[in-house]
Amino acid sequence: MMAGMTETPHPLYDRHADTLHRALTAITERGYWSAYPESPSPRVYGETAAADGKAAFEAYLGGDFPLDQPGTADRVATETSPFGVALDVRYPHPGADEVVAAASAALPAWRDAGPQTRVGVCLEILDRLHKHVFELANAVQFTSGQAFVMAFQAGGAHALDRALEAIAYAYAEMTRHPGTASWEKAAGKGDPLRMTKTFHVVPRGVALVIGCNTFPTWNSYPGLFASLVTGNPVVVKPHPRAVLPLAITVKYAREVLAEAGFDPDLVLLAPEAPGEKLASTLALHPAVKIVDFTGSTGYGDWLEANARQATVYTEKAGLNTVVIDSTDDFAGMCRNLGFTLTLYSGQMCTTSQNILIPAAGIATDQGHKSFDEVAAGIAATVGKLTADPARGVELTGAIVNDGVLERLDEVTKVGEAVLESRTVTHPALPDAVVRTPTIVKLAATDTEVYGREWFGPISFVIATDSTAHSIEILRSTVGESGALTAAVYSTDEAVLDAVEAAAIDVGVHLSANLTGGVFVNQSAAFSDFHGSGANPAANAALTDGAYVANRFRIVQSRRPA
């Protein structure tokens, strides 16, 4: 089917057309809108929804995951829950060539279905996932270490919003051009030259999504649905420690595709065995033309350098930075930053790491505050939020992997702790691995420490010569290593402008004077861009036109009229 042509769309397009048009409006207005309620309240989802979702999740544990797809030679079970719950789910383990071949065979009919039909089917997949959002949230919680409410919001409702956002951008790009055009050019005294031109939306080929451990759905859904809706079959390679959320996603996607009359092999799961390096094998496969990856800088750089046959979209690591100059709400600033550092134990790619404060202190509504008083104020909030284990674990969640624990041990040797990390026993899950955040004091000269990412509940308060010096450090560290977020606190418009100018120069999204219920490490679909693609932390933004437009090509044909 051709871009923009009058097509006979699948009935699923008509069913979800209103959602699509509201999403198209939302991406142009950039105000608040959400298609999927983020509250797990029974008033929203029904009295039995939570229990039904938990039961569905538990039914997967200790068994063979119900997924029938080609090329399955054996099964693998690689997940270890940060909450200490035995998962032991066994997933079909296909060969790389088999899944790529199956995906390639499914492409032509999906390509020819046309943009509207593909949009309708993809929106039905989102609707099906939303109907199973509690099942999905439990899977996210027990594989990623997120507390349940966060898993429901970020791993469920917000992930679905980000997928819908990608679909809306893709639809806008696919239908930007007409499907056909009549071309006429005067030719002197003779008859005009007349041509009929047809413009085909042509997918790039097989797409690969490489999932991450911390946000298996939120970080995977934009690429998965941006590729699928533009006509590309998708192979989903989950992180070995967070397979279940994406296995559930693939299960329901395949179910919808088959019901809609398409080959379910348009979406395939590719779990890997320990040490197999399946992601690298798939990423270098000649038929794989798109790769989406979230994770370490080292592997992201490797993909960009080596998967030369593919267009590679990466979100990697960075040095998220806060510049504190002054504030008219010292308590609010401390509360806001303390919550930011506590949420999910700092295991978010957007959580602040480097907090730059003049050594001479800052002006506040409570009078002058010394450097140590500012650091202590932030630390006190973290301490208060984590003091009660029952309440604290609902914010911190659990530690996602041993690498975080190793960094927590290492950081005790690099500076003076303003706040030490504590081991917490989870009241309901005694085998959960829970650690509270640590805050470490550094000098501006300790660049070898704060000049690299310390992923996890680790942040630094760094004494600088002045606010101007803090801005200089922001420029140099983010310019060199990248960042996904930056923040500034100041009552001086000139300072706010200077930090904004620096943020623009180094391509990082900036938040100013957050003291209420909006936090620098949270990103709203349809309004906030996540990553800019303008610094080393990411080469793409979630989600904009550039993120989707390169997943297909326009191929024209023309004939004399």
CA distance linking residue 303 with residue 310, whole number of Å: 9
Cα 56–Cα 61–Cα 67 angle in degrees, nearest 5: 75
The whole-number pLDDT of residue 123 equals 98
Rounded (5°) CA angle 389-390-394: 100
Average pLDDT over residues 402-409: 97
Reference 431, options 384, 383, 393, 403; nearest CA is 393
Q: Which residues pair with 559 in a beta bridge?
A: 196
pLDDT at res. 71: 84
Least confidently predicted of 6-10, 143-147, 304-308, 531-535: 6-10
Give the pLDDT confidence of 299-357 residue by residue, as tens digits: 999 999 999 999 999 999 999 999 999 999 999 999 999 999 999 999 999 999 999 99
pLDDT at 45 over 70: yes
Find the mean pLDDT for residues 124-136.
Answer: 98
Q: Which domains does the chain have, with CATH numbers?
A: 45-185+192-316+540-560 (3.40.605.10), 321-512 (3.40.309.10)
Average pLDDT, stretch 121-133? Answer: 98
**Gap between the Cα atoms of 445 and 494, Å rounded:** 26
Question: Please, what sign has the CA dihedral across residues 521, 321, 462, 481?
Answer: positive
pLDDT of residue 381: 98
Residue 440's pLDDT is what? Answer: 98
Q: Which residues of 462-499 are buried (b: 16+ CB within 10 A; e: fewer)?
A: bbbeebebbbbbbbebbbebbbbbbbbbbbeeebbebb
- Going 376 to 381 to 382 to 384, the CA torsion angle's sign is positive
In the structure, what pLDDT confidence band is assigned to residue 72 with cuts at 50, 70 and 90?
confident
Query: Given a cut of 80, is residue 3 above it in pLDDT?
Result: no
How far is 509 from 532, CA to CA, in rounded Å? 7
Q: Judging by DSSP bridges, how do beta strands 485-489 and 321-324 pair with one another?
A: parallel
CA dihedral 121, 155, 217, 117 (to 10 degrees): 10
> Who's near 276: CB < 8 A, 6+ residues apart?
none
Measured distance CA(299)–CA(278) in Å, rounded: 13
Here the tokens at position 471 are: 């801005």
Instruction: Quote the pTM value.
Output: 0.96
Residue 4 has pLDDT above 50, yes or no: no
Average of per-residue pLDDT across 15-39? 97
pLDDT band at residue 7 under the 50/70/90 scheme: low
H or E element at residue 342: helix 330-342
In angstroms, the CA 210 to CA 240 distance is 10
| C-alpha R_g of the chain | 25
State the average pLDDT over residues 182-191. 93
Contact between 127 and 119 (Cβ < 8 Å): no
Are 34 and 160 in contact, with CB atoms under 8 Å apart? Answer: no
CA–CA gap between residue 365 and residue 352 (Å, rounded): 24
CA–CA gap between residue 129 and residue 127 (Å, rounded)? 5
Interacting residues of 156 by C-beta distance below 8 A, sequence separation 6+: 36, 130, 133, 134, 136, 137, 140, 217
Mapping DSSP onto H, E and C, the string for 441-491 reads: EEECCCHHHHCCCCCCCEEEEEEECCHHHHHHHHHHHHHHHCCCEEEEECC
Give the integer Cα–Cα distance in Å for 342 and 381.
9
Query: CA separation (Å) from 469 to 321, 360, 368, 390?
Result: 13, 12, 19, 41
Q: What is d(CA 207, CA 6) in angstroms, rounded to the nearest whole number?
A: 27
Could you identify the residue written with the tokens 């008509």? 14
Query: From the centroid of its chain, how far is CA 267?
Result: 19
Q: Are strands 234-237 and 206-210 parallel, antiparallel or unpaired?
A: parallel
Q: What is the rounded CA–CA span in Å between residue 316 and residue 361?
A: 33
Q: What is the average pLDDT across 20-35? A: 97
Alpha-carbon span 303 to 487, nearest angstrom: 30
Confidence check: pLDDT of 1 > 70: no
**Residue 10: its pLDDT value, please?**
87
| Segment 507-535, tens digit of pLDDT | 999 999 999 999 999 999 999 999 999 99
Q: What is the pLDDT of residues 207-246, one digit of tens each?
A: 999 999 999 999 999 999 999 999 999 999 999 999 999 9
SS3 148: helix
Mean residue pLDDT of the chain comes to 96
Q: Which residue has the tokens 């409570």?
A: 366
